[in-house]
Amino acid sequence: MRNEKLLIKICGILTALIAVISYLIFSSPSGNLEIFILDIGQGDAILIKTADNKYILVDAGPDDSVIQELQDVIPFWDRTLDLVILTHPDQDHVGGMPFVFDYYDVDAVSFLPFEDGNEAFRQFQQDVKEGEIGNWKLDSQKDFSLGCCTYFDMLWPTFDIYEECDVEIREEDKRCMWDVNDASAAFVLVYKDFAMYFGGDLPSKYEEQIFAGSTYDLDAIKVGHHGSKTSTSTEFLELTHPEKAYVSVGKDNKFGHPHQETLDNLKQFGIEVHRTDVKGRIAVEY
């Protein structure tokens, strides 16, 4: 009996030591930026971990699959997201948000309050309201830094989505005339001399517009609209010169993403392509 109690005590001490060591390893700043393009099927969900352990989630995929992906990447004792960015309220970007808010504490959000939307988006807005979570409104004039050294250069939208609508039409059917993809948030994440573009489902004509005259030489891009031919034009690639491209896309999806035209554009510029439907979750470290 005494030996059994001693063994239990030793196991308890070892478990505590392992927990402490794990905490020290995972909570200490790595000195590196880490970006995870999560494997959530057809949709977007990207986790950014700054060098000083700030977590930013960009979109949440179509359903609760985002939770297992986040659990696989974030230490089990850490249940806080410093910022959640919703690029736009399509189901394949917002569907997982209610599950994220159930499982994690969210310090701040950044999104456009569309008048129309699906059930997941309405729940997302309700969670933000009930949690009294601050909204860093998406705006190209509101760049910001998070943590010691990660900068977000906000590029789109460049307009007030409501002021751009026809008031009479909006009052009649409660919808904004802008397509939600046209209002999709776009930004460049900058860490030291590394720069990566994120653009949700923003179409090519706006990607070209925001980079016209830009001095950016991008290291990487998150390919727009899951590789649809509506984004990532040759003109956009000529303006940005990315070396690597990451496609968040579901295997054998009904849309045929990524489109061959987009893949051909990337190949034409010698850009290294990584796809979640081929590789699963993708980790980028700089």
Tens digit of each residue's pLDDT (9 = 90 or more) over 204-236: 999 999 999 888 999 999 999 999 999 999 999
> What is the rounded average pLDDT of the residues 123-127?
95
106 and 214 in a common domain? yes
Q: Is the pLDDT higher at 59 or at 10?
A: 59
42 and 24 in a common domain? no
What are the φ and ψ backbone dihedral angles of 9, each rounded to 5 degrees? -65, -45
Cα 105 to its chain centre, rounded Å, is 17
> What is the rounded average pLDDT of the residues 55-68?
98
Q: Rounded distance, CA 37 to CA 195, Å?
A: 16
Strands 46-49 and 55-58: antiparallel
Q: Residue 203 corresponds to which amino acid?
A: P
113 and 10 in a common domain? no
Give the residue numbers spanning the domain of 272.
31-285
pLDDT of residue 22: 45
pLDDT of residue 13: 56
CATH number of the domain within which 96 lies: 3.60.15.10
Q: What total number of domains does the chain contain?
A: 2
Q: Is the pLDDT higher at 163 or at 284?
A: 284
Confidence of residue 163 (pLDDT cuts 50, 70, 90): low
Q: What does the buried/exposed string (b/e) look like for 14-29 if buried means 16 or more CB atoms within 10 Å of the residue's CB?
A: eeeeeeeeeeeeeeee
205 and 281 in a common domain? yes
Range with the lowest mean pLDDT among 37-41, 109-113, 266-270?
109-113
Q: Is the pLDDT of residue 19 over 70?
A: no
116 and 2 in a common domain? no
The distance between the two most distant Cα atoms of the chain, rounded to a whole number of Å, is: 82
pTM of the full predicted structure? Answer: 0.86
Q: Is the pLDDT higher at 67 or at 162?
A: 67
Confidence of residue 266 (pLDDT cuts 50, 70, 90): very high
65 and 21 in a common domain? no
pLDDT of residue 138: 86
pLDDT of residue 87: 97
12 and 98 in a common domain? no
Q: Rounded distance, CA 51 to CA 188, Å?
A: 17
226 and 212 in a common domain? yes
Q: Which residue is it, tokens 């927990």? A: 19
133 and 123 in a common domain? yes
Report DSSP state, residue 114.
-
Q: Is the pLDDT higher at 148 or at 271?
A: 271
Q: What percent of the chain has pLDDT over 70?
A: 82
What are 36's two structure tokens?
């995870």
Q: What is the mean pLDDT of the chain?
A: 88
Bridge partners, residue 189, by sequence: 152, 196
52 and 5 in a common domain? no
15 and 146 in a common domain? no
Q: Is the pLDDT higher at 64 or at 3?
A: 64
191 and 92 in a common domain? yes
Confidence of residue 33 (pLDDT cuts 50, 70, 90): very high
Q: Is the pLDDT of residue 105 over 90?
A: yes
Residues 6+ positions from 96 with CB-CB distance below 8 Å: 40, 43, 45, 60, 61, 62, 63, 64, 65, 66, 67, 120
Burial class (CB in 10 A: 0-12, 13-18, 19+), 133: middle
